[in-house]
Amino acid sequence: MGIREERKEATIQSIRAATLDLVELHGLESVTVGQIAARAGISERTFFRYCESREAAVVPAQHELIQAVTECPIADGSTSAQIFRLLANECRRILVAEIHGNEYRRISRLIATEPKLLLAITRQDQAFCAATAQELLRRGLVPAMPALMIGEALAALWRVAWQSFGQAERAGEPADPVELFDEAMANLEALAGGRAE
> How confident is the model over 43-86, as pLDDT tens digits?
999 999 999 899 989 887 677 888 899 999 999 999 999 999 99
In a domain, 78, yes or no: yes
Per-residue pLDDT at 1 exceeds 80: no
On whether both 129 and 112 belong to a single domain, the answer is yes
On whether both 171 and 74 belong to a single domain, the answer is yes
Position 39 scores a pLDDT of 97
On whether both 41 and 126 belong to a single domain, the answer is no
In a domain, 147, yes or no: yes
On whether both 93 and 129 belong to a single domain, the answer is yes
On whether both 33 and 68 belong to a single domain, the answer is no
pLDDT-derived band of residue 144, with 50, 70 and 90 as boundaries?
Answer: very high
CA–CA dist 170, 162 (Å, integer): 12
Q: Would you call 27 helix, strand, or coil by DSSP? A: coil
On whether both 9 and 49 belong to a single domain, the answer is yes
CA–CA dist 192, 188 (Å, integer): 6
Per-residue pLDDT at 190 exceeds 70: yes
On whether both 177 and 111 belong to a single domain, the answer is yes
On whether both 87 and 160 belong to a single domain, the answer is yes
Residues 6 or more apart whose Cβ sits within 8 Å of residue 193: none
pTM for the model? 0.80
User: Do residues 58 and 16 make contact, with C-beta atoms less than 8 angstroms apart?
Assistant: yes
CA–CA dist 92, 86 (Å, integer): 10
The last residue of one of the domains, among 19, 34, 53, is: 53
CB atoms within 10 A of CB 68: 16
* Biggest distance spanned by C-alpha atoms of the chain: 54
CB atoms within 10 A of CB 18: 21
In a domain, 196, yes or no: no
Domain that holds residue 33: 3-53
What's the structural domain count of the chain? 2
The last residue of one of the domains, among 53, 76, 91, is: 53
Position 28 scores a pLDDT of 93
CATH number of the domain enclosing 68 = 1.10.357.10
In a domain, 110, yes or no: yes
Q: Would you call 76 helix, strand, or coil by DSSP? A: coil
What is the average pLDDT across 160-169? 86
On whether both 31 and 117 belong to a single domain, the answer is no
On whether both 66 and 7 belong to a single domain, the answer is no
The last residue of one of the domains, among 11, 27, 53, is: 53
Residues 6 or more apart whose Cβ sits within 8 Å of residue 186: none
In a domain, 22, yes or no: yes
In a domain, 197, yes or no: no
Position 194 scores a pLDDT of 58
